[in-house]
Amino acid sequence: MSTHTVQTAAKKAAKPKVKKFQVAPYLFVLPNFLIFSVFIVIPTIIGFVYSFNEYDGLNPMEFTGFDNYKEVLSNSEFWTALGKTGLYALIVVPLIYCVSLAVAVLLVQNIKLKGLFRSVFYLPTLLSFIIVGLSWKWIFADFGILNHVLNLLGITSVHFLSDPFFANMSVIIATVWSRVGFFMVIFVAGLQVIPKDFYEAAFLEGASKWHVFRKITVPLLKPTSLLVIMIALIDAFKAYPLMFSLTGGGPGKETTFIVQYIYETGFMKQELGMASAMSVVLFAIITIFTVIQFKVSKGGEN
């Protein structure tokens, strides 16, 4: 081999390879990107613009600056609806967390028909919230199945949907029933990646199941728990279809949570600018809660 050939080969080897631009990966991502942009990004930007204007959807927008935000901050009905939503979240999120974790722990054991039980618990998550609300309405209504059973037992009918306390309990029960299966799947995935060696070593040393659960399972599930709590919290603050179909926000305004109040402001009162400002405030509050939770839990680190 000549010296010239060797030098040419060395230059080619030393020359950095330029990667060719790959179009195919971007084409696969493009449909999701378009859907996300059309239904999430663009409406968000439009809503943010609306929040600085007085707009009823028919007449031209009139720029009002921060007037909508000032009115939102002094709107007692807005804060009442937000307070009810916060109380609802304070009850629902721990319930969903505990029930879904308990179900997941049971269904990762070697039991018969494990796949069937997982399917049964997961099925409610496939239903829309409107269907869930209507289904539970047939159970809790004055003419519903539950009151019929109570009457057969000689017990007076309970006004589940017209009594403030029972209406809130009905909403909570329906919510937990419809969401446990979804979070159960997340917990099952988290439990399956925990090394079995930890459990075997603990049981060899005589640790009880409860001690193993507290000292091994819960700490190692911290990242999964953070994900579950964050999603459940966001779900609770934007809850609307289930309540609308189950109680209609009643009795009175007892189960009118923040998203329904924003909807009524925007589309029934035709105050789109005000409703948009409320949405921005709600988004800011959820973001603050999420950041605080993330910081407290140290990003889910064990």
**With b meaning 16 or more CB within 10 Å and e meaning fewer, what string describes 207-238?**
beeeebeeebbeebbbebbbbbbbbbbbbbbb
- Cβ atoms < 10 Å from Cβ of 65: 9
Phi, psi (degrees; rounded to nearest 5) at 66: -95, 15
- Length of the chain in residues, anyone? 302
Tokens for 21, please give them. 């631009």
Tokens for 48, please give them. 């943010």
Tens place of pLDDT for every residue, the chain, 302 residues?
A: 555 555 555 555 555 555 677 788 888 888 999 999 999 899 999 999 999 999 888 888 999 999 999 999 999 999 999 999 999 999 999 999 999 999 999 988 888 888 888 888 899 999 999 999 999 999 999 888 999 999 999 989 899 999 999 999 999 999 999 999 999 999 999 999 888 888 888 888 888 888 888 888 889 999 899 999 999 999 999 889 999 999 988 898 899 999 999 999 999 999 999 999 999 999 998 888 888 877 876 655 65
CA atoms of 184 and 178, how far apart (whole Å): 11
CB half-sphere exposure, 67, CA atoms < 13 A: 10
Evaluate the omega torsion of the peptide bond into residue 251 and state whether it is cis, within 30 degrees of 0: yes
Ordered structural domains, the chain, with CATH: 70-300 (1.10.3720.10)
Instruction: Name every residue whose Cβ is closer than 8 Å to that of residue 99 and which is 6 or more positions away in sequence.
Output: 176, 180
pLDDT score, position 273: 93
Q: What is the pTM of this model?
A: 0.85
